[in-house]
Amino acid sequence: SGNANAGILVSNPSATNTLIEGNVIGLNAAGTATVGNGGAGVAITSTGANHRVLSNSISGNTGLGIDLGDDGATANNGATSSSVAGQGVDYPVLSQANLVGTTLTLAGYVGSAPGQATFANARVEFFLADGSGSGKTYLGFLTTDANGNYSGSLTVAGVVDTDQITATATLSSVGTSEFATAFNVNATPTDIAPNIFTVAENTDTTGGYTVGTLATTDPDSGDTFTYSITGGTDAAKFSI
């Protein structure tokens, strides 16, 4: 940390199999204060195979957390290539990050669209994102299916609804992507209150009758709620 340029640079075009794992990059050793680098946290300009960046804490750098090509963000294109920096592994796209207690349920894909087999069996590592979208706190990983999609849950600590999640994808024998676009954590709404309504026997409801009012609280501002009536032979007699 504290370098004028990148924190770690992998530049030798003939280099292969570099492993950058378990480091603190852009912070002090305790991970409690910013000691940012003047460039990317990790810059990979080598076109060699299998440069992997795994389970690090990367935050507070002037450039990207991980930069393939050391030239700014690289768009996904659905392919890898032995002629580009880091072999051009696409970053993950997150479509779900739902938090219930200490269970974080995640879903998405690796590539330029869902269902790209190029990214089958990729290791997708998840992180709490810092303010610039780099992965500051490692949370765990999932593995993509045969079509490059992923879904599953991690047990996490210290994650709240105001956090954002980012991720990387690592393909065996190929390399590691840049960080994903940060995605908002969605916390579970408070249960509907009240749960039970009663109507006195023989109440005249021919002109309509208000049974009660539903209320739901969600810690995520801007979310909307959809209610439905299910079950029972009399369900059709009620509306919301």
Lowest mean pLDDT among 13-27, 44-58, 143-157, 216-230: 216-230
Beta carbons within 10 angstroms of residue 113's beta carbon: 10
Q: Are 1 and 28 in contact (CB under 8 A)?
A: yes
Model confidence over 181-192: pLDDT tens digits? 999 999 877 667
Q: What is the mean pLDDT of residues 68-88?
A: 98
Rounded-to-integer distance, Cα 46 and Cα 87, Å: 8
Q: Reply yes or no on whether the pLDDT at 115 is more than 70.
A: yes
Beta carbons within 10 angstroms of residue 80's beta carbon: 18
What's the pLDDT score for residue 190?
65
Mean pLDDT of the chain, nearest integer: 92
What's the pLDDT score for residue 134?
98
Q: State the DSSP H helix or E strand holding residue 94, giving kind and residue range, or none if neither.
A: strand 92-100
Using alpha carbons, select from 82, 109, 81 the residue that is nearest to residue 93. Answer: 109
Written as six digits, the tokens of 62 are 């002037």
Rounded-to-integer distance, Cα 149 and Cα 46, Å: 27
Confidence of residue 233 (pLDDT cuts 50, 70, 90): confident
